[in-house]
Amino acid sequence: MGLLFNTVINSLILSSMYILAALGFAFLFNMLRIFNLAHGAIYMIGGYIGYYFIVELGMNHWLALLLTTLLVAAFGMFLERFLFRRLKGDFNLNIMACVFVAVILQTTVNIIVGDKTMAIPSFAEGVFRTALFSVSYERLVTFAAGLFLLGAIIWFVNKTRIGLQMQAIAQHRDGAILQGIDINRVSAVAFALGCALAAIAGIFLGAYLRLSPYMGDLMLTKVVIIFMLAGAGSITGILITGLILGTLSSVLPVFISGAASDAVIIAIVIIILLIRPQGFFGYQVEM
């Protein structure tokens, strides 16, 4: 019973963090047609900045989370304004720019901290125990925070003015311009939001798992899998496929080794995309 409950909690935690990161990735692609290969590196940077605030400066976890989110969001706006805005319409140059940003971020962290792994101290110490199972407060807090953030993002996209403008741009960019929507302003907000979501996932998983300069590579793989399976343009699809991927990532390692479980997941994804290239809920991605 305890193993089952902990597996369920692990599935929900990983799913919520994968979905947060994948939503940020999807915002940039749907609005700007940027296939952001730097997304994993930004996720990694968020984790290390949070570690610096919490461990090196002794800052409160939640304050560090807020400051890291704002800092990485500002970095996203900087990238949009001074790099990607100048490359609009050129998919190949956008890919090169993303690779450039990813390599710079990854190399910088590698030079500063080396290859050693680190861990952000737990957001909540202790264990919740019942007669049937026990679970750490860290897991419960991470799941609750992920659930709250997902709800907040869905509300923001569907209920706020700028969220509706983001949807309008994603559906028909020229039509949005004709309606008087400031494309540059909304694009900057989308870039900031995408980077912020990646950073939040990096901090929580940095406490739940571990930090390393290459942790973003695996997250980028997971995010792209979710995005492709969901189908471009489908937020609902990302929620569902993120939950499926999080469940597979938690359940398969119980039966087979971690590396083999990742290979099995990727094989399943390849087979699905061969059968249904447009994903489950959207349309086929065309560059």
pTM as predicted: 0.89
Give CA–CA dist 156/165, Å, rounded: 11
**Res 258: pLDDT:** 62
**Res 263: pLDDT:** 81
Give CA–CA dist 101/104, Å, rounded: 5
Give CA–CA dist 203/218, Å, rounded: 15
**Res 56: pLDDT:** 92
Q: Is the pLDDT of residue 286 over 50?
A: no
**Res 196: pLDDT:** 95
Give CA–CA dist 109/154, Å, rounded: 32
> Residue 131: what are its φ and ψ, rounded to 5°?
-65, -25
Q: How confident is the model at residue 266 (pLDDT cuts 50, 70, 90)?
A: confident
Secondary structure class of 118 (helix, strand, coil): strand
Q: Are 20 and 201 in contact (CB under 8 A)?
A: yes
Per residue in 118-169, pLDDT (tens digit) is 889 988 888 777 766 677 788 788 888 888 988 898 899 889 999 899 888 8
Q: How confident is the model at residue 97 (pLDDT cuts 50, 70, 90)?
A: very high
Q: Is the pLDDT of residue 106 over 90?
A: yes
Per residue in 205-249, pLDDT (tens digit) is 888 888 989 899 989 999 998 888 887 656 778 888 888 888 888
**Res 88: pLDDT:** 76
Residue of higher predicted confidence among 90 and 78:
78
**Res 227: pLDDT:** 87
Residue 229 CA: distances (Å) to CA of 21, 23, 109, 285: 15, 13, 31, 11
Least confident range from 43-57, 97-111, 185-199, 232-246: namely 232-246
The average pLDDT across 256-273 equals 79
Tokens of 253: 């390692």
**Res 287: pLDDT:** 46
What element of type H or E holds 2? helix 2-32
Residues 6 or more apart whose CB falls under 8 angstroms from that of 47 comprise 120, 199, 202, 203, 205, 206, 211, 215
Q: How confident is the model at residue 61 (pLDDT cuts 50, 70, 90)?
A: very high
Q: Are 190 and 32 in contact (CB under 8 A)?
A: yes
Buried/exposed 105-128: b ≥16 CB within 10 Å, e otherwise: bbeebeeebeeeeeebebbeeeee
Q: Are 47 and 211 in contact (CB under 8 A)?
A: yes
Please name which of 217, 241, 220 lies closest in space to residue 230, comparing C-alpha atoms.
241
Give CA–CA dist 206/248, Å, rounded: 20
**Res 2: pLDDT:** 61
Q: Is the pLDDT of residue 262 over 90?
A: no
Percentage of the chain beyond pLDDT 90 is 34
**Res 233: pLDDT:** 58
